[in-house]
Structure formats: C-alpha cells, structure tokens
Amino acid sequence: PASNMMLLNYSVELEQIAERYLSRCPDNHPDPLVDTEFNGTTMTIKSYSPYKPSVLEYLQDYQSSLRFCDSQHRHFAFCQSHRKMVWAQSTEVGCAIHFCGPARHSNYLIGCLYKPGMNNPPDQTYTVGESCSQCPQGYSCYRKQCTKASA
C-alpha cells in the first residue's frame, strides 16, 4: 500500500480546462510554457476510433497495459501516463471527451487533467508503507488515502 497517497477529488474546473484543450483536437499534450493555465498540472490523453469510450473504459485500458511497464519499458507513453495517474501528490482530477471530425481521423479524444501534476513523474510515484502513515500534518485517513481533516 501507499503511505502518502492523497485522495483525488473531482474538479469541474479541471474538466472544463481539459474540454477546452481537447476541443482543439491536439496532436500532443499541453505545454505549460504556452498554455499557462496548465502550470502545475499534468494531462493524460488517449485517442479512440470510431466509437466513443467511457471514462471507465479509458481507465481500464491503462490498467490492462500495466503488465508491459517493467523496468525495460517504463519509458513507453502509456507507462508514463500511468505514473501521472497514480502520482501520490495529486489531489484533483477532471476528465473530458471530445469528438474530432474528419480532420482528425474521426476519432474521440479522452483526457484527464491532474493537479498538482508532474509531466515526468518519477518511477516510484508513491512511498510504499502502511496506508496514510506519511500523510501531511493536518490530514486524516479516508479510504486508505490522505485527505484534509475537516475543521
């Protein structure tokens, strides 16, 4: 288990930012130097054609590809995306799906934006240990994840 995993909360604001970005039908991930609203965030994007996926299917696709993320293959794009998804310090996530027409091979883009985020998270994205044993001061344990304690 992770000793320092933060609880992810859904953010409508991040969903809206992700939707605006995906509406451009981009070929790559956002660059925080160009799009400053992406400072301190990271994004995972996957393309589907010709059908519209669910967010659950998107997450399951990453989960099923994990068996290929050994030490020799950790540089693969899906392994890097998985590390973005499970980085212990992220506390917010927002996801969007956008259809890109014929100019983009009539496919759907689905993406999730994480905050805070790292574009190149380390291989070890969390500290192994007893759940919540390394939560920051003022945090409590909920579902084996660190969350801000209620006032």
User: Which pLDDT score is estimated for 50?
Assistant: 80
Residue-level pLDDT, tens digit, the chain, 151 residues: 899 999 999 999 999 999 999 999 998 999 998 999 999 999 999 888 888 888 888 888 877 776 666 555 556 666 777 778 888 899 999 999 999 987 666 799 999 999 999 877 777 888 999 999 999 999 999 999 999 977 5
Q: Which residues contact 61 (CB under 8 A, 6 or more apart)?
A: 46, 53
Residue 117 in any domain: the answer is yes
Residue 150 in any domain: the answer is no
Does the pTM surpass 0.95? The reply is no
84: CATH: 3.40.33.10
Residue 116 in any domain: the answer is yes
Residue 29 in any domain: the answer is yes
Residue 137 in any domain: the answer is no
Residue 136 in any domain: the answer is no
Domain count, the chain: 1
The domain of 61 spans 9-125
User: Which pLDDT score is estimated for 72?
Assistant: 55
**SS3 of 108-144:** EEEEEEEECCCCCCCCCCCCECCCCCCCCCCEEEECC
Cis before residue 32, ω within 30 degrees of 0?
Answer: no
Residue 84 in any domain: the answer is yes
User: Which pLDDT score is estimated for 104?
Assistant: 62
Residue 139 in any domain: the answer is no
User: Which pLDDT score is estimated for 7?
Assistant: 96
CA distance 83 to 121: 6
